[in-house]
A = this chain, B = another copy of it.
Amino acid sequence: MRETFHGELTRLREQLVAMCALAAQAMQQASQALLTADLGLAEQVISGDTALDQARGNCEANAHSLLALQAPVAGDLRSILAAVYSAEKIERMGDLAAHVADTARFSHPNHAVPADLEDPFAELGRIAAGMADRLGELIDQPGVEGYAELNETDHAVDALHAQVLATITGSGWPHGVRSATSLALLARFYERFADQTVSVARRLDFATTGEIPT
């Protein structure tokens, strides 16, 4: 029974790792679609989001079965609850990547991001997708505490987010109000994507140690 249980827990973990890879890819492609005004790629990200929705449903169903059939306690129970929590957050990351792609689609054939903000948005995309990849590694290696690391990376995202907001709300913004509001929301999608990875890492640390990291 324990053998089976830990095998099932490993399977649940593998599902989450696969979800992280999907979320990272979605964010990488959404950013590429955004910065190159690639309508086809944007639509691919948007329609591809259903895969993450389904994967989340599968994770939840498996976690539910494990809880009902194995009645785990202590660290095992924390791990399963962390998996449910993680699946929901990673699905949300997919939604946010799809929002980025949607911004690209809505602006097409124009570029949503003006040339003078391409660099910070490219950097936001690179860091955010990297955080999703790193989260997958952390899930794959239970026992490695990753909250402090991802929280540190998140500071870079917050700084870029602040930089974008300062640029679009500064005097001399030449691209008009519509562009500014779109970019403010866009920057927030990246920031929220990054936030989710930090939340999951925090929960994974809790599953490992039994203590919420501060």
- Interface residue count on the A side (C-beta < 8 Å): 26
Q: Specify the main secondary structure of chain A where it touches its partner.
A: helix
User: In residues 26-45 of chain A, which contact B (Cβ within 8 Å)?
Assistant: none
Are B188 and A177 within 8 A (Cβ)? no
Give the chain B neighbours of A183 by CB distance below 8 A: 181
> Is A168's beta carbon under 8 Å from chain B?
yes
A11 on the B face (CB < 8 A):
no
Contact bitstring A58-74, B, C-beta under 8 A = 1, else 0: 00000010011001011
The segment from A80-88, A107-115, A117-125, A127-135 that touches chain B is A80-88
Q: A9 at interface (Cβ–Cβ under 8 A)?
A: no
Within 8 A of B (CB), among A171-207: 173, 176-178, 180-185, 188
Q: How far is the CB of A92 from chain B (nearest CB, A)?
A: 10
User: Closest 5 CB pairs between A and B?
Assistant: A71-B71, A181-B184, A169-B178, A68-B73, A177-B180
